Amino acid sequence: MNFREAVGRQIRWENTSLSDGFSNFLFVDEHFGSNPVLRRIFSQARKHDYQSVLIEEIVESECSLLAEENEALATRRSDFIKAEAHRVSFFLSAKDQIPRREDFLGYAVFKWDHFSKESKPRARVFESVMRPCRTEDQNNFIHCSRDYEVNTMAGCFPVKGVLYAKQNNLTFVCAHAALRSVLACVLPEGDISYSRMNALAGVDHRSRQVGPVGDKTHGLGPLELERILDGLGVHYERLIHEPALVDPATGKPLTLPTEYQRELYGYIESGCPTLMGFEVDPKPGETGDPARHAIPVFGHTFNEDAWLPNAQRLYFGGGQTYYPSENWLSNFVIHDDNFGPYFCLPRHFVKKDSFRIMYGVKPAATTFRATEAEAVGFNLCLAIASSYPKRHQDWYDRFAVFARGEWLVLRTLLLRREEYLAQLYEVRDRTGAALEGEIRQRLRDVLPAHFWMVEASAPELFSTTRRKFGEIFVAADKPASPLSPALFLAARLPGLVLVNPGTGSLEVRPTKLLGHTPLFTHPKKL
């Protein structure tokens, strides 16, 4: 049983409104040792205008996950004595009201670990799931949040968010915590224990330990991270930037030829959370190899008034043939186990000089990445616009002009067929026209289980109304070649659907869906 399912023993339930004089700072100071991560979580609850907080004790005999962690700590350190764990739950309702399911904002588990050789217990937020303070209405996009059910003394309540986790630096470190957040987004069970991760990685706390060992601190290396991912059957891609290392296959330094942010954005837009590792600047007087840190990246913010897309092309970029939708990105949304959940990382703050590694998880194996699929998509848009330059339909003709003029905005996603078709059924243009049933069925026949979708839009459509001309479908399991006809699966554009049946000639199907349509939005995971 995990901390969400465990039966709690109520310690206190307090009203928290400002009118009652409740102070987040004072409460955390008095009951949780002024812990800064918990203070951040309380501040997020305050942003939602929470009205009460419920504190429950979780005991080891009623929570197997807690017992498992304590056993690992006892193996790692012989002076481990005991642990205390409290589940902190936040509500929009006051304590004298019966809370509704929608009143639940989330929870945090706070844990104290006691050691005989240390005068003070080690305290930390073990885990938390909170409802994000900002949503798509505020241009915050988190495509891989999911529902969790939390059993409290007041009842069972749902919360949708991304699991936050904090290292203890003894039995699991920052890479464990970051990878746990990433895996929780994609595993069917919505979580994974550290014991399972350590078993896959070969960490037994005896012959292989993490955290401080002697005068060194040990983390998880790429091989161990990949043992975990491979052992779980998770598809992923690794990008590495290690200028001090040499690729044995080429004899050249292991460096990225481009900025890593575009690749990171490609995963995030596809609803694929990513683990990112970077090198930390040494402190004054510090010697030895620089420390490294890992964080989960799972969302982004969007600036519809960004200057960069136009300025980069006119003033600084030169040769771009389309607008990558990534140009409107302001921040990545991350957790940092040192600071807490839901921080915004400015797009270019962590420079490539500091970036070291990235693991992007995916729903299926692909032969190339989103950036390459986008280049294929642009070439296909250009080929279609050249083959059908004018159809005397306003929105198709605009698409053709924007393609040939190199003014398209392209957004690339790795999709499941059923996710796309379910949303296609609901798609309407401004006149209310829908795609004909027989064309939807034809797309179902030709699209594979997973594919790249490249959405084609105009800057004003994309940034202001989040709409598009249509989409190009690119095979994800064939060798990448920008000009390969085999990569083209189909296209849906205003008034026109093209299908590649694999026979050497295209099927051309007119449709009454003549206008622009909404961008694809990811279904919410349950």
Is 361 within a domain?
no
CB of 402 closer than 8 Å to CB of 458: yes
Sign of CA dihedral 399, 400, 403, 407: negative
Beta-bridge partners for 293? 278
CB of 113 closer than 8 Å to CB of 72: no
Is 217 within a domain?
no
Is 198 within a domain?
no
- Copy the structure tokens of residue 6: 């465990």
- Of 129, 161, 193, the one marking the end of a domain is 161
Q: What average pLDDT score do residues 423-429 get?
A: 96
- Alpha carbon distance 490, 487 (integer Å): 9
Q: Which pLDDT does position 484 carry in this prediction?
A: 74
Is 418 within a domain?
yes
What does the DSSP assignment read for 278-289? EEPPPPTT--SS
Show the 3-state SS of 204-217.
CCCCCCCEEECCEE
**Cβ-based neighbours of 375, under 8 Å, separated by 6 or more:** 482
Per-residue confidence band for 116, with pLDDT thresholds at 50, 70 and 90: very high
Please determine, for residue 522, whether its predicted confidence score (pLDDT) is greater than 90.
no
pLDDT tens string 335-344? 999 999 999 9
If you count them, how many residues does the chain have?
526
Residue 303, CB-side half-sphere exposure with 13 Å CA sphere: 14
Please determine, for residue 114, whether its predicted confidence score (pLDDT) is greater than 60.
yes
Is 513 within a domain?
yes
- Of 161, 186, 217, the one marking the end of a domain is 161
Percent of residues, the chain, with pLDDT higher than 70: 99
**Cβ-based neighbours of 154, under 8 Å, separated by 6 or more:** 13, 54, 89, 91, 99
| β-bridge pairing 164-165 and 122-130 | antiparallel
| β-bridge pairing 323-324 and 409-416 | parallel
Percent of residues, the chain, with pLDDT higher than 90: 88
Is 402 within a domain?
yes
- Of 161, 176, 211, the one marking the end of a domain is 161
Per-residue confidence band for 482, with pLDDT thresholds at 50, 70 and 90: low
**Letter for the amino acid at 220?**
L
More confident residue, 429 or 290: 429
Beta-bridge partners for 140? 301
Per-residue confidence band for 18, with pLDDT thresholds at 50, 70 and 90: very high
Max Cα-Cα span within the chain: 81
pLDDT tens string 247-268? 888 888 899 888 899 999 999 9
Lowest mean pLDDT among 192-196, 242-246, 449-453, 487-491: 242-246
* 464: containing domain: 370-518
What does the DSSP assignment read for 444-493? HHHS-SEEEEEEEE-HHIIIII-EESEEEEE-SSS---TT-GGGEEEEEE
**Letter for the amino acid at 97?**
Q
- Alpha carbon distance 173, 170 (integer Å): 7
Is 496 within a domain?
yes
Mean of per-residue pLDDT scores for the chain: 94
Sign of CA dihedral 156, 49, 164, 306: positive
Is 56 within a domain?
yes
Q: What average pLDDT score do residues 462-475 get?
A: 96
Which residue from 524, 471, 521, 463 is spatially nearest to 496, judged by alpha carbons?
471
Please determine, for residue 243, whether its predicted confidence score (pLDDT) is greater than 60.
yes
More confident residue, 486 or 279: 279
C-alpha distances out from residue 246 to 222, 240, 241, 292, Å: 16, 11, 10, 19
Per-residue confidence band for 525, with pLDDT thresholds at 50, 70 and 90: low
What does the DSSP assignment read for 115-148? ETT-SS-EEEEEEEEE--S--GGGTEEETT-EEE
Which residue from 354, 526, 171 is spatially nearest to 180, judged by alpha carbons?
171
pLDDT tens string 176-190? 999 999 999 999 999
Q: Which pLDDT does position 526 carry in this prediction?
A: 42
Please determine, for residue 447, whether its predicted confidence score (pLDDT) is greater than 60.
yes
Q: By three-state DSSP, how is residue 409 classified? A: strand
- Angle between helical axes of 222-231 and 194-201 (0-180°, round to 10): 110
Residue 163, CB-side half-sphere exposure with 13 Å CA sphere: 29
Q: What average pLDDT score do residues 212-238 get?
A: 95
> Total structural domains in the chain?
2
pLDDT tens string 28-41? 999 999 999 999 99
| β-bridge pairing 253-254 and 242-246 | antiparallel
